[in-house]
Structure 1
Amino acid sequence: MFKRFARLRVAALLAGLVLTSACTASNSNPSAVSYTEGKEYVTLPGPAQRYSADGKVEVVEVFSYGCIHCAHFAPKAEELRKQLPPGVKFKLLPAAFSDAWLPYARAYYAAEKLGVVEKTHLDLFAKKFDQHYPISTLDELADYYATQGVDRAKFLAIATSPEVTQQIKKDLELVQKWGVDGTPTIVVDGKYRSNEIKTLDQLGAMAQWLAQRELSGK
């Protein structure tokens, strides 16, 4: 239904992305239902390719602030994050699927570094898609974060830093390995990826189901 909105253009981005460069858990009992491998989710080939190495089961949402479907999923993802059991960590991975989405990925990592993601994540989606603020370029994103009390110059310095550029490059390589070609996509523990999902509610419920199954397996 909503899986392939933003087509992946990773090769071109990886070629141009250098270090000097400045798309729910409302089911209260997800274990009561099951999902089919090869339909709602797929098992990724090879050893697990995790986003982090913190040892916890991870639920990663591949998203973008440029994706309206991610905006619709964001409140459900927040419910999912709060309902995940101990031992499971929810993470966000900003996908730079195109040149137009690259500023959003930079902005996310700058906001994370500055400690304002929790404050701004849902609000940025609302400003862009509900209130239609012009939030597309990195300068416009810097203006938005400045309204949230962030130092504009510091935001831009972090967003265009070599460290953020390298992280985005690593992310692009990882989403290629995961076979992600649209947003929002959920990847659990680097092993399972959402596939033929019909609704955003189903996406969140399946993510919780997979996480609980992975946790019990550990």
Structure 2
Amino acid sequence: MRWLSKVMVMLGLLLAGLAQAAPQQGKDYTLLAKPMPVAVPGKIEVIEFYWYGCPHCNAIEPFVEAWSAKLPKDVNFRRIHINWEDSSRQGHVKLFLTLQAMGLDTKLQPAVFKAIFQDKLELRREEVLYSWLKTQGVDVEKFKGIYNGFSMGVMQTNLAKLTRDYGVDGVPRFIVNGRYVARGIEGAGEESVLKNVDALIAMERSKSGKAK
């Protein structure tokens, strides 16, 4: 019976540790004012809202790249550029929307941040942007057709609505399953928010009763 007592003690410690690790509302996350639908039903959704010109988004970028490469199959990760509808950001908004339409936004995300923050290129200036795109092997004429196309205004409006619907007033912003806004750990660096994202994913997975 002594072994059983030891097992029970260990189980109690394990459960206590799990309970302690559970994310806490107000500390580790806040709730969206209005829950949003997920893009892929049956999967746990994580959205990162960001802005190409945001230094914090640039700082967290390598951590997000490494983190997202190891996500399990039950997680659907999306990255969305904000549109706060101010004129100073519309060049970046149009860049994102055009790359997204071409299926290049994920592939070129690190390169865009590098161009802006390391190479100090002003990609909101079209002549600079088109020259840079050539170095990335992008079909510039196809890019121009979308970037300056009639549908761009509609895409900008839709992105602005999405930004408002999710209540994004600062970036980077990570939202789990259309409900939970992950918060960073004070003083632990921008990437610390990913620990709370992982905890929220685990919490949602446990609710569904699905194994990883």
SS at match of 1:60: strand
Counterpart of 1:170 in structure 2 is 158
Which of 39, 42, 53 does residue 53 from structure 1 map onto? 39
State TM-score, norm by structure 2. Answer: 0.77
Query: CA 1:197–1:169 in 2, change beyond 3 Å: closer, same or farther?
Result: farther
**Structure 1 alignment gaps of length 5 or more:** 1-29
Which of 126, 148, 151 does residue 160 from structure 1 map onto? 148
Counterpart of 2:96 in structure 1 is 108
Query: CA 1:165–1:57 in 2, change beyond 3 Å: closer, same or farther?
Result: farther
Percent same amino acid at aligned positions?
Answer: 25
Backbone CA RMSD of aligned residues: 2.4
Whole-angstrom distance in 2 between the partners of 1:174 and 1:168? 10
CA deviation digits over 1:84-142, x for unaligned, max 9?
22111111110122222222122122212323334321111112111212323344333
Counterpart of 2:52 in structure 1 is 65
Superposition map of 1:122-137 within 5 A: 122-137=110-125
Larger Rg belongs to? 2
Which of 181, 187, 195 does residue 205 from structure 1 map onto? 195
- Following TM superposition, by how much is the alpha carbon of 1:33 offset from its aligned partner in structure 2, in angstroms? 3.4
Q: Is the Cα contact below 8 Å between 2:183 and 2:196 reproduced in 1?
A: no
| Larger helix proportion of the pair | 2
Query: CA 1:113–1:174 in 2, change beyond 3 Å: closer, same or farther?
Result: closer
Q: Is the Cα contact below 8 Å between 1:62 and 1:93 reproduced in 2?
A: yes
- Following TM superposition, by how much is the alpha carbon of 1:196 offset from its aligned partner in structure 2, in angstroms? 5.6
Whole-angstrom distance in 2 between the partners of 1:194 and 1:122? 22
Query: CA 1:137–1:188 in 2, change beyond 3 Å: closer, same or farther?
Result: farther
- Following TM superposition, by how much is the alpha carbon of 1:58 offset from its aligned partner in structure 2, in angstroms? 1.2
- Following TM superposition, by how much is the alpha carbon of 1:75 offset from its aligned partner in structure 2, in angstroms? 0.9
Whole-angstrom distance in 1 between the partners of 2:55 and 2:137? 25
Matched residue count: 187
Whole-angstrom distance in 2 between the partners of 1:31 and 1:185? 25
- Following TM superposition, by how much is the alpha carbon of 1:185 offset from its aligned partner in structure 2, in angstroms? 0.6
Q: Is the Cα contact below 8 Å between 2:30 and 2:182 reproduced in 1?
A: yes
Q: Is the Cα contact below 8 Å between 2:83 and 2:163 reproduced in 1?
A: no
CA deviation digits over 1:128-159, x for unaligned, max 9?
11121232334433332222111212112212
Whole-angstrom distance in 2 between the partners of 1:129 and 1:183? 16
Whole-angstrom distance in 1 between the partners of 2:32 and 2:93? 24
- Following TM superposition, by how much is the alpha carbon of 1:181 offset from its aligned partner in structure 2, in angstroms? 0.7
Query: CA 1:132–1:197 in 2, change beyond 3 Å: closer, same or farther?
Result: same
Query: CA 1:108–1:36 in 2, change beyond 3 Å: closer, same or farther?
Result: same
Query: CA 1:116–1:175 in 2, change beyond 3 Å: closer, same or farther?
Result: closer
Counterpart of 2:109 in structure 1 is 121
Query: Which amino acid in 1 is paired with 2:203?
Result: R
